[in-house]
Amino acid sequence: MEGILTVLPSLLGTITIKEERECAQSMITLYQFEDCPYCAMVRAVLEDLEIPYKKADVSRDKSDPVRKMLLLKSGVGTVPVAEINGEFIGESAAIIECLKKLKVG
Ligand SMILES: N[C@@H](CCC(=O)N[C@@H](CS)C(=O)NCC(=O)O)C(=O)O
């Protein structure tokens, strides 16, 4: 009994730490054109800060369903748009500001 009571708190401690790490791990998708200079700035910051992310190359056709979805969700009609933990953020400067806060927080 004494053994279980000694081990249990340390087990719970392990579980809590794991959950905190999972929450801290952001899911980021960068909607972009590979040759867009604003997208390149955002990629450079992601890489400098060593933040894992997925790239999604979007169509140049603004009537494409993904472009329409980005406009609807971010409010901007340009790329880059970053989806950060489910939130869509447009404008490279705003994305970079958000990434820097993520890394600090
Ligand atoms: N102020 C925006 C400018 C972004 C921008 O002009 N992106 C261009 C590509 S480099 C764009 O999406 N243009 C609209 C289009 O090509 O459909 C930012 O900093 O994110």
Q: Could you tell me the residue ranges of all domains in the chain? A: 28-104
More confident residue, 4 or 64: 64
54 lines ligand 1 (CB under 6 A): no
Would you state the CATH architecture of domain 28-104? 3-Layer(aba) Sandwich (3.40)
Q: Whole-angstrom Cα distance, residue 90 to residue 79?
A: 7
What would the pLDDT profile of 61-86 be if each residue is shown by its tens digit?
Answer: 999 999 999 999 999 999 999 999 99
Tokens 């933990």 locate to 85
pLDDT at 25: 63
Q: What is the pTM of this model?
A: 0.80
- Per-residue confidence band for 103, with pLDDT thresholds at 50, 70 and 90: confident
Question: DSSP class of residue 31?
Answer: E
91 lines ligand 1 (CB under 6 A): yes
More confident residue, 12 or 89: 89
38 lines ligand 1 (CB under 6 A): yes
Mean pLDDT along residues 47-62 = 97
Does 105 have pLDDT greater than 60? yes
Neighbours of 91 (CB within 10 A): 17
